Chain A
Amino acid sequence: MLDAIDKELLKTVADLETLPKGAYNIRKNGQLLGREISANINIETNKEGNGIIITIKPGTKGESVHIPVIVSQAGLNDVVYNTFIIGEGSDVTIVAGCGIHCGTSKSQGHEGIHEFRIGENAAMKYIEKHVALGEGKGQRVLNPTTRVFLEKGAHAEMELSQIGGVDSANRLNEATLGAGSSLFITERVMTDGNQTAVSRNEILLEGHGSSTNLVSRSVIKDDSSQNFYATLDARAKCFGHIECDAILMGNGRNETIPALKALHPDAELSHEASIGKIAGDQLIKLMSLGLTYDEAVNRIIRGFLKK
């Protein structure tokens, strides 16, 4: 059963007011809370019992899978290994995410290791939100890992966001792209207080004609810090771009290191990065439209982090 806290977390991380329609797997405090499969989407517990395998039949179109995780048990660090096998020619949306509710002084955390095997000419949209709520003083820790393998002509779009309340995050995104495949990643992270977030991205462009675009938007408030590392490793004729922007507020700190490795003469790689406070001309423009300074800051941040 879902209690009030569960419902709040589900709504925040997966936009769910109640149990979703279609296939889903809801994990709460390391245990299965609910699961539903569909004719085209199967979900089963893996052999080790520490995660699930989601198998999507070839040609499945327009279906979605929700796999949110709730951690509300004091002191629990939940580790889960999930594998997604996306059949060739399918087109699906996967909504993941983890919501922590911390009500005590004990640390709570979740480490989701997600491996995606995306078949030929399949398309996947992956939406992952991380948030932590609650009045407790315990550390809220989220360390997600995604490993993506794109077959020939496959396409993946990943929206990864950490909305707030997470004290420590250490993310790793790895991807290997086959011929003609494409991967778009957009990561949005906001930190405040003394929070820290690290994102490492290793993208291997292995297939001829593969392409990737990696966008990172960071808002770093108070005494928090975020570090962003991204490497494009091009082994074929391919295209890759990294765009990372960070807005510093208060004493926020950021280290951004994009790396481009062109190991093929026809590789085209580029990056753009910017770190700084909100530009004065943006604030003045919005104030000249009648917003106060604080309202202008909020609108700029909202725009910067929105989809």
Chain B
Amino acid sequence: MCLGIPAQVVERLDDGLAKVDFGGVRRSVSVAFTPDAEPGDWVLVHVGFALAMLDEDEAQATLRLLGEAIEAELAS
């Protein structure tokens, strides 16, 4: 039920809506809860509403930890 899908903002539309791209599928969603979302930004979409902006620095930090886990396993 609480399914959230990452999507990239394509353009802002009127009335608090934006067109977003889910890996090729495009749909208009409400960005009322992420008012700063601009074209190019990634958002998490749930039932037609963007609930959060995705943070690339945080994502990279998580991937770095995964990289360290791979190196630790190779070294062992």
A binds B: no
Residues of A within 8 A of B (CB): none
